[in-house]
Structures are given as structure tokens and as C-alpha cells.
A = this chain, B = another copy of it.
Amino acid sequence: MEQGLSLLTLGVPDLAEARRFYVEGLGWQPTLDLPEVVFLQVAPGVLLSLFDAVSLADDAQVPAAAAGLTSSFSLAHLVASPEDVAEVIATAEAAGATVVKPAQRAFWGGTHGYFADPAGFLWEVAHNPGLSVAADGTVTIAEVDAG
């Protein structure tokens, strides 16, 4: 697994409130602003995403209630091909991680899975054909046809 972070997702209890704070309050510019998720670039090649906490728990297949969290988060590591997803998750498992969601098609059209590091922090491993990073680190993200 290469040393890298691509996306940091905040699972928030109230997405409208989070959007008001980051976009209207702080004046940060979204890379992509959809009804269910907001992506904000926060470093070269790195996006902060605002997502509903329950949706994040559902997506990672972790029980939101059992985690005892009203808010949660995940880190993401993007890979170059759909096949790399399972391979990176296997590498993490061999290093001591727990597989939370095996590699599979994601609802948004790409391929992904999740593992938890030994402390329980969630890492999503994903191939997203709609996301690209320019030479200067600018991220472009578009909706993928999930058909």
C-alpha cells in the first residue's frame, strides 16, 4: 500500500449545518457540491468531504450506534485500477488491519472497500474513474454513471 491519503470524509450529523459552516461561514470553495455530499480541496490532491454520518456508517458497513459516535470519519487511499482495491486491502490485512468491507462495486459507480487500522480508524480503498489529479495537485471529481 503506497504511502498516501486522497480523501478525508467527515461523517456529520447535519450536512446542511456542515455546508453552512465550511462553504458559507469560512467561504471555502467546493470542488463538487451535491445534495448528499460536498467535496472541498484542502491540499494538493487531497479532498475533504462532508457526508451524512449514518450514510458513512452504512457505506463502510459499520454500525453507527455500536461505534458510539454521533460523528465519524474515514480516510481514503485511491488506487489506479479496480483490481488494486482488493490487493491493497489484502496488504493492509497482512500488516494487521481488519477488513471491514471487502472490495466491491460502490454505489457511486467505482470500486471500493474498507479496512480498519489496529486503533479502529477506517480507511476506504477506492478506484474512482471520475476523479483525477492534475500535475499541480488540483483535483477534479465528477459523478460516475453507476448504471
Query: Per a CB cutoff under 8 Å, which of B6, B22, B42, B68 touches A4?
Result: B42
Q: Which size class do A's interface residues fall under?
A: 35 or more
Q: Which residue of B has the minimal Cβ distance to A17?
A: B118
Interface segment out of the listed A23-31, A79-87, A106-114, A124-132: A23-31
In the complex, which residues of chain B have a beta carbon less than 8 angstroms from the beta carbon of A20?
96, 118
Q: Are A117 and B42 in contact (CB under 8 A)?
A: no
Q: Are A18 and B117 in contact (CB under 8 A)?
A: yes
Q: Assess A14 versus B119: contact at CB under 8 Å? Given A5-B48, A43-B6, A46-B5.
A: yes
In the complex, which residues of chain B have a beta carbon less than 8 angstroms from the beta carbon of A21?
95-97, 117-118
Q: Are B41 and A43 in contact (CB under 8 A)?
A: no
